[in-house]
Each structure stands twice: as structure tokens, then as C-alpha cells.
């Protein structure tokens, strides 16, 4: 009998994203509740080590579609491999991580398997084999209960919203290899290159984020004489603040975030933007420096566990959401704060 609960592992260069193990681990719990086994599907190339890890995180059965043509992620062959693996199996629940690839593959699976997908959920309840999930909508300004009235119920889980996965080296399971479904000449998309992102912790995985806003440009230091353009001067000034932010972030093993105002003004690239049109994050610690707390920014970070605000203006809305606030100049507070944290963390 086929397993009724499946989980999808998103990998990049044969490494699973952490969110994938959260999905496998949650899948294990749901399978136990249903008295079913857990099947984990991995698509890519060179997946043997991943298969072993999938078992340690809770898989009873691992299906590998392992082929050189699947080395780089491409939506169509991955979606076809997924539909092929599901085939005639009758499953109740199929979990995915809400990564860019996971979301896309799940969307395509909804079409192929004639069902629907509950995207980016933060909680799951089971009533028999029926899932009721909770998902933030309007960037978390509201929460929605959602259900999928067809099977399999496809669900993508938000990273860091579910229990931290713990591997168990003693677990056993089977590994089955499946053939790839699409031949190379049927695939209308080629991957021609790849450019790694600048180093540093990614916002969505980070448990600590230190963010800067427009306030970083309010810096009394003068830019070097060769910078004459006014907006270049402003960018230079603000970037000195982001150097301080980066210093604190690296002491805390955290990521650097930014408000949209800081991104739009060119202080830092868009990958750092937090908020309704940036990334929605919920780290354990969020330190906002020179950020006023506009509703679109708050939407992206207000579910953080502990919020700290450093802002010159005691009336800044961000203070209402902050566990700790400092009314002051970020340029004065950040250097001693970084030093103090370094000391306490014995770094």
C-alpha cells in the first residue's frame, strides 16, 4: 500500500535547503497521526547522500528521480517527474517547502494532479485525513484558515514556522530510483549560467536580522571629496551606516535587512528588502535601525519574536512594536552595541 503522506525535498547543487527537512519532519508527524508511512520525493542529480538524510529526518520510503538532465532546476522536467512519481498512487497530503522552487513545483503539481495548493502555511491541523491550514495573507495583516477540497492536498510550509527537525541516525527506510520523464530535446528551456549571490546569511533562513532604513543617511561624516553628486553623497553616507549594521549582524550570525526607502535610494540591493513588497520574515531577533515603521515594513517583520528599535524620533511608530527601544542616533549606538554583544557572546 502506498503511503498517504508525501514530502518534497527542494535541493540546490545536491544540498537540501533547511526548509526541506522541516517539511520531511512535519510530514513524519502527520504520517504518524494518520497511521501511514512517509514517502519523500527528491528530484535532481547526485542525490544518494540526500536520500540517506531524508530517512534520518523521517522518510520510510525515498523516491529519487536522479538524472544528469535534472542537475539544474527547471520547472517543466521537475513537474513532469513529480507527476510521474505520483502516478496512480492515492495520497492524502503532499508537503513542500515554500522556497522559490518548492512553490513553483507545487503550483504545477496542482494542475497536473487536478487539485489545489495551500501556499506558505504556518500551521496545520488534521481532522481525519483532512488538513486545515493557517496562512498569513495581506503580508500577515490577516490570517486565513484554508482547506483543499480535493486530493492530494498540496501544502507548502513556510520556513522556520514548524518544529526544528532533528535527524535520527537509527531510522531505516527504502530508496527507489525512478526514471526521468522528459528527454532533453523536449525541454524548451536551457540553463546557461549561474551567478552565486553575495555571501552572507539569507533573510528567510536568518534567526537574527539587523535592518537599516533611510535614517542611515543621516550621518554627520563627510564623504570623500571625489564624490560630488548629491545622491552619491547620500548613498556613501548611508553605506557607512550599513557597514555598522553589517558588523552587528555578523557578530550575531545574522542577516542584513533594509526598508524599501533604503533600497529605493540605492543604499543596498533589493535582496535585503523586508516588507510587503520585499521578504516577509520572522526571526527570533529583529533590530531596526533608522526605520520609522511604515505599515508595509511592519507587515514584513512584526511576527519577529523580539524587536529592537533604534531611532532618533521618540514618536516613530516602530517603537510601539518594539520590545526594547533606544531613542538615539544609530551612528552612536551601534558601535558600542556591537562591542558589547561581542563581549557577551565571547567572540
Partner 1 sequence: MKIIVCVKQVPDSAAAMSVEDGKISWGDAPLVINPWDEYAVEAALRLTEAQGGDVIALSLGDENAKEAIKHALAMGCSEAILVNDPAMAGADTQAVARVLAAAIQKIGGADIVVFGKQAIDSDVGATPSMVARLLGWPAVTLVSEIVECTQSEIKASRAMEEGRQQVAAELPVVLSIVKDYGEPRYPSFMGIRKAARASVPEWTVADTGIDLPSAVVTWPNVMAPPEREVTNEIIEGSNPEEIAAKLADKIMEEKVL
Ligand X SMILES: Cc1cc2nc3c(=O)[nH]c(=O)nc-3n(C[C@H](O)[C@H](O)[C@H](O)COP(=O)(O)OP(=O)(O)OC[C@H]3O[C@@H](n4cnc5c(N)ncnc54)[C@H](O)[C@@H]3O)c2cc1C
**What residues between 85 and 144 interact with partner 1 by CB under 8 A?**
99-101, 103-104, 106-108, 110-112, 115-120, 135-144
**Interaction partner, residue 99 (ligand X, partner 1, none; CB < 5-8 Å by kind):** partner 1
What does the block give as the cell for 279? 521578504
Bridge-based pairing state of the strands 11-12 and 153-157:
unpaired
Nearer to partner 1, 147 or 166 (CB): 147
281 part of the interface to ligand X, by CB under 6 A: no
**Least distance to partner 1 from the beta carbon of 221, Å?**
16
| CA angle (271, 217, 294) in 5-degree steps | 60
Kindly identify the residues of this chain, within the stretch 253-272, that bind ligand X according to CB under 6 A: 259-262
Nearer to partner 1, 119 or 262 (CB): 119
Residue 322 is given by DSSP the state -
Nearer to partner 1, 28 or 272 (CB): 272
Among 4, 135, 297, 302, binds ligand X (CB under 6 A): 297
Among 77, 173, 300, 325, binds ligand X (CB under 6 A): 300
Q: Give helix 100-112 / helix 75-86 axis angle, nearest 10°.
A: 50
Distance CA 96, CA 327 (A): 43
Largest CA distance in the chain: 74
Q: Residue 214: which residues within 8 A CB-CB, separation 6 or more?
A: 238, 259, 261, 262, 265, 290, 291, 292
Among 65, 331, 337, 338, binds ligand X (CB under 6 A): 331
Kindly identify the residues of this chain, within the stretch 212-231, that bind ligand X according to CB under 6 A: 213-215, 218
Peptide bond before 152: cis, by omega within 30 degrees of 0? yes
Distance CA 124, CA 117 (A): 13
Among 311, 322, 337, 338, binds ligand X (CB under 6 A): 311
Residue from 39, 11, 38, 64 nearest 176 by CA: 64
Residues near ligand X, by CB under 6 A: 213-215, 218, 259-262, 273-278, 290-292, 294, 296-297, 300, 310-313, 316, 329-331
Amino acid at each position: 500500500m502506498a503511503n498517504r503522506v508525501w514530502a518534497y525535498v527542494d535541493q540546490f547543487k545536491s544540498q537540501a535547503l533547511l526548509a526541506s527537512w522541516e517539511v520531511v519532519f512535519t510530514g513524519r508527524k502527520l504520517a504518524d497521526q494518520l497511521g501511514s508511512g512517509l514517502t519523500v520525493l527528491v528530484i535532481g542529480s547526485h542525490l544518494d547522500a540526500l536520500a540517506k538524510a531524508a530517512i534520518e529526518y523521517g522518510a520510510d520510503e525515498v523516491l529519487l528521480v536522479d538524472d544528469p538532465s535534472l542537475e539544474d532546476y527547471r520547472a517543466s522536467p521537475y513537474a513532469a517527474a513529480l507527476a510521474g512519481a505520483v502516478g496512480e498512487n492515492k495520497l492524502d497530503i503532499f508537503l513542500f517547502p515554500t522556497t522559490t522552487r518548492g512553490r513553483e513545483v507545487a503550483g504545477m503539481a496542482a494542475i497536473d494532479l487536478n487539485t489545489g495548493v495551500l501556499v506558505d502555511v504556518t500551521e496545520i491541523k488534521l481532522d481525519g485525513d483532512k488538513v486545515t491550514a493557517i496562512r498569513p495573507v495581506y503580508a500577515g495583516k490577516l490570517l486565513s484558515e484554508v482547506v483543499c477540497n480535493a486530493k492530494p492536498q498540496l501544502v507548502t510550509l513556510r520556513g522556520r514556522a514548524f518544529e526544528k527537525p532533528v535527524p535520527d541516525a537509527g531510522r531505516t527506510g527504502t530508496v527507489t530510483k525512478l526514471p526521468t520523464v522528459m528527454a532533453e530535446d523536449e525541454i524548451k528551456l536551457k540553463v546557461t549560467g549561474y551567478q552565486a549571490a553575495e555571501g552572507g546569511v539569507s533573510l528567510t533562513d536568518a534567526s537574527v536580522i539587523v535592518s537599516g532604513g533611510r535614517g542611515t543617511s543621516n550621518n554627520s561624516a563627510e564623504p570623500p571629496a571625489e564624490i560630488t553628486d548629491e545622491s552619491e553623497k547620500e548613498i556613501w553616507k548611508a553605506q557607512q551606516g550599513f557597514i555598522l549594521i553589517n558588523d552587528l549582524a555578523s557578530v550575531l550570525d545574522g542577516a542584513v535587512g533594509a526598508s524599501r526607502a533604503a533600497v529605493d535610494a540605492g543604499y543596498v540591493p533589493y535582496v535585503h528588502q523586508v516588507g510587503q513588497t520585499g521578504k516577509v520574515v520572522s526571526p527570533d531577533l529583529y533590530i531596526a535601525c533608522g526605520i520609522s515603521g511604515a505599515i508595509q515594513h511592519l507587515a514584513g517583520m512584526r511576527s519577529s519574536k523580539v524587536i529592537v528599535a533604534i531611532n532618533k524620533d521618540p514618536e516613530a511608530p516602530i517603537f510601539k512594536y518594539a520590545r526594547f527601544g533606544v531613542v538615539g542616533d544609530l551612528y552612536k549606538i551601534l558601535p558600542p552595541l556591537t562591542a558589547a554583544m561581542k563581549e557577551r557572546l565571547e567572540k
